[in-house]
Chain A
Amino acid sequence: MKIITNSEKETIKFAEKFSRSLKGGEVLALFGDLGSGKTAFTKGLARGLGVKNIITSPTFVLMKNYKTSAQAPIKTLTHIDAYRLKSGEDLEAIGAMEFFNDKKCITAIEWADNIKSIIPKNAIKIYFQIGENNKRQIEIKKPPVALR
C-alpha cells in the first residue's frame, strides 16, 4: 500500500488510523532519511494506541517504552531509534529484542536499515520518501501471509 501525505499532521493522522489495524506483537520497521516522517508516524501510532506521554526522540537512549490504553492485548509501545547504530548487536545489549513479537507490545524501529540483521522476518516494513512541498510518500509492505 502506498499513500501520499501533504503535511506532518496528515502523516500523524494516517498513522493513527493505521494503528487500529494492529493486533499486538507487530514489529514495524521504518525506513527513510532525516526528516522524512518516521517520528511523526510514531507520534500518530502512539496517539492511536492511547499513549498519554509526549513521544520524544529516543536517539540518545536508543529505546523508550510507553504505556498504551489500546485494544487488548496491547499494553506497550516500544519506540526504538537505530540512527546511531552500526549493527543489531548494540540493540541486543540493551535487551530490545525481548519486545519483538511480544503480543503485549507494538515495536516501532526508526532507521531499521542500520540493524537489518535483527529485524524479524515477519516485520511490517514502512518506507518514507520526501517529495516536493512537504509531501511524503509512505509505503507499507506487509510480510508474506505465511509469516504473519
Chain B
Amino acid sequence: MNILAIETSCDETAAAILKAKRGRLELAANVVSSQINIHKKYGGVVPEVAARHHLENIIPVIDEAVQAAQIKPAAIDFIATTAGPGLVTALLVGIETAKALSYAWNKPLIPVNHMYAHLAANFFNQSIQFPALALIVSGGHTEIVLLKNHHHYNKIGQTVDDAVGEAYDKAAKLLNLGYPGGPIIARLADKFSGLSPINLPRPMINSRDFNFSFSGLKTALLYTVQKMTKKEIKTRTPEICRAFQNAAVEVLVSKTIKAAKKYQVQSILLAGGVAANKKLRADLKAAAEKNNFQFRVPEFKLCTDNAAMIAIAGYYLSRKHHPQKDGWQKISADPNWEL
C-alpha cells in the first residue's frame, strides 16, 4: 500500500510517501520545506505570509516527494492530508491541493487530525503495548491522551490556558531571546549549573485532574524578571532559563506519570514539537522506566511538523475506516479540530 501525505497546518510545507508491506512501514520520501526563517522576524507565524509561501512551495514539495520515492501517481493507493487543527489560511493550501489531486487521480482522501498524527509518529515501526498514555506537547497544544489501541483514543487532560511551547515562546520574549523560544531556552538552560535562588511555581502539579496551566508560570517569570535590573537579567539569563525549564518539565512529567498510574497503562508515549526538547525526553524516559512503563518517543525528525506522521496516521485510520473515492467532497479545514 502506498500513501501520499500532505501537511501545511503551520509554517512547514511538507509531503511524504509511505509504503506499507504486511504491516511494515517504509518511508520512501519525507520532504519538509520550512518557513521558520521567514517568520522569525514577526515573532511567530503570520497567516497571510504562511499561506503565500505554502502556495509557492506545495507543488514543488509534492513533486520532490514523488520523484524521491520513484513512484507513479497510479501506484498511490490513497492521499492523507492535515485538516486541522492549525492556521486556517495555511491548512487550506494543503487541503485544496489534496482534494484536487484526489479528484484528478481518482484516489481516496483521508482527513487527518494533526495532533493524532503527532502521536501516531510513535507507531512508526515501534511496537507499542496498549493501553498507552500519550503526552502531546507543541506550540498550540498540551494534552494527555489515553489510547486503547492504535486508533481508539480519548483526551483526559489538557492545558487550561497556554500551551507549553507557547509558554517557552513568551518566556523567550520576556527575556528578549527572539522566536522560537524552545530551542534557545533549552540551550541557555544547559549553560547554567549549580544552585539558584530562583524558584518558579509548578502550577496545578497537585490538582486532581490531568490538566495543566502555564499562564501562571509565565506571570511568575514576569514578576521575577521585574525585580531585576536589565544588566542582571542579561547576566543571569541562563539561570532564569534553567529555572523556567525545570518548572515546565517537572509539571509535565509529574502529571503524565500520575495519569499513567491512574489508568494503569502499559506504556507512555511522548509526541509533538516540544518532544524535541532533550530535557523533557530524558526526564520523562527516566520517570517512565523507574515506574516500569514502556517509553516511546519518535526520532527527532518525526517530532517537529512533517508529512510522514500524517501518512502514518492515515495508514492506521485506513485500517479502521476504508477510505472512499468521493471522500474529498466532504473534507474542509477545521482550524480548531479537537482530539
> Which A residues fall within an 8 A CB radius of B?
33-35, 39, 43, 54-57, 59-65, 83-86, 89-90, 93-95
Q: Does B48 contact A (CB under 8 A)?
A: yes
Stretch at the interface among B67-75, B83-91, B291-299: B83-91
Within 8 A of A (CB), among B145-188: 158-163, 165-166, 169-170, 173-174
User: Smallest distance from the beta carbon of B98 to chain A beta carbons, Å?
Assistant: 20
B215, A57: Cβ atoms closer than 8 Å: yes
Q: Check if B303 is an interface residue, CB within 8 A of chain A.
A: no
Contact A60 B163 (CB under 8 A): yes
If A54-B160, A56-B161, A64-B336 touch, does A86 touch B47 (CB 8 Å cutoff)?
no
Q: Can you list 10 residue pairs at the A/B interface with Cβ under 8 Å?
A: A34-B173, A54-B211, A57-B166, A59-B166, A60-B140, A60-B163, A60-B166, A86-B42, A90-B46, A94-B88
Instruction: Determine if B129 is an interface residue (Cβ-Cβ < 8 Å).
Output: no
Contact of A34 (CB < 8 Å), options: B43, B88, B174: B174
| Cβ contact within 8 Å between B42 and A94 | no
Q: How far apart sit A39 and B42, CA to CA, in the bound complex (Å)?
A: 22
Counting CB contacts under 8 A, is B60 at the interface?
no
The answer to whether the Cβ of B241 comes within 8 Å of any Cβ in the partner chain is no
Asked whether any CB of chain A lies closer than 8 Å to the CB of B335, the reply is yes
Contact yes or no, A61 B140, CB < 8 A: yes
Q: Is B199 an interface residue, CB under 8 A from the partner? A: no
Closest residue of chain B to A95, judged by CB? B88
Instruction: Give every chain A residue within 8 A of B85 (Cβ-Cβ).
Output: 61
Tell me the minimal C-beta distance from A45 to chain B in angstroms: 14
Residues of A within 8 A of B139 (CB): 60
Known: A34-B222, A57-B163, A61-B86. Is A93-B158 also a contact (CB below 8 A)?
no
Q: Chain B's nearest CB lies how many Å from the CB of A128?
A: 12
* A35 and B160 contacting across the interface, CB-CB below 8 Å: no
Give Cα A85–Cα B45 distance, bound, in whole angstroms: 9
Residues on B with C-beta less than 8 A from A35 are: 215, 218-219, 222
A84 pairs with B43, CB closer than 8 A = yes
Task: Verify B219–A61 contact, CB threshold 8 A.
Answer: no
Is A56 within 8 A of B159, CB to CB? yes
How many A-B pairs with Cβ below 8 Å?
A: 74
CA distance A47 to B48 in the complex (A): 32
Q: Are A89 and B48 in contact (CB under 8 A)?
A: yes
B51 contacts the other chain (Cβ, under 8 Å)? yes
Partner of B335, one of A33, A34, A61, A84: A61
Cα separation A61 to B89 with both chains bound (whole Å): 10
Across-interface contacts of A90 in B (CB, < 8 A): 46-48
Q: Are A94 and B219 in contact (CB under 8 A)?
A: no
| Residues on A with beta carbons closer than 8 Å to the beta carbon of B161 | 39, 43, 55-57
Name 6 extra pairs, CB < 8 A, besides A56-B158, A57-B166, A61-B140.
A34-B218, A56-B160, A57-B161, A57-B215, A59-B166, A60-B165
How far, in Å, is A55 (CB) from chain B's closest CB?
8
Q: Which residue of the partner chain B has the closest CB to A57?
A: B162
- B-side contacts of A60, CB under 8 Å: 44, 139-140, 163, 165-166
Q: Which residue of A lies closest to B165 (CB)?
A: A60
Q: Is the CB of A65 within 8 A of B336?
A: yes
**A64 to chain B: which residues have CB within 8 Å?**
336
- In the complex the two chains form, what is the Cα distance from A34 to B46 in whole Å? 20
CA distance A63 to B335 in the complex (A): 9
Tell me which residues across on chain A come within 8 A of B47, comparing CB atoms.
62, 90, 93-94
Cα–Cα, bound, A39→B167 (Å): 14
Asked whether A84 and B46 contact (CB < 8 A) given A60-B140, A61-B336, A94-B87, the answer is: yes
Q: Which residue of chain A lies nearest to B336 when distances are taken between CB atoms in the complex? A: A64
When C-beta atoms are compared, the residue in chain A nearest to B170 turns out to be: A34
| Shortest CB distance B88–A (Å) | 5
Across the A-B interface, the 6 shortest Cβ-Cβ residue pairs: A60-B140, A84-B44, A35-B219, A93-B48, A57-B162, A35-B222
Cα distance A25–B75 in the bound complex, in angstroms? 52
With a cutoff of 8 Å between Cβ atoms, the chain A residues found around residue B51 in the complex are: 93
B176 → chain A closest CB, angstroms: 13
In Å, the complex CA distance between A33 and B158 comes to 25
CB distance from B287 to the nearest CB of A (A): 25
Report the bound CA distance from A90 to B140 in whole Å: 18
Q: Considering only CB atoms, which chain B residue lies closest to A33 in the complex?
A: B222
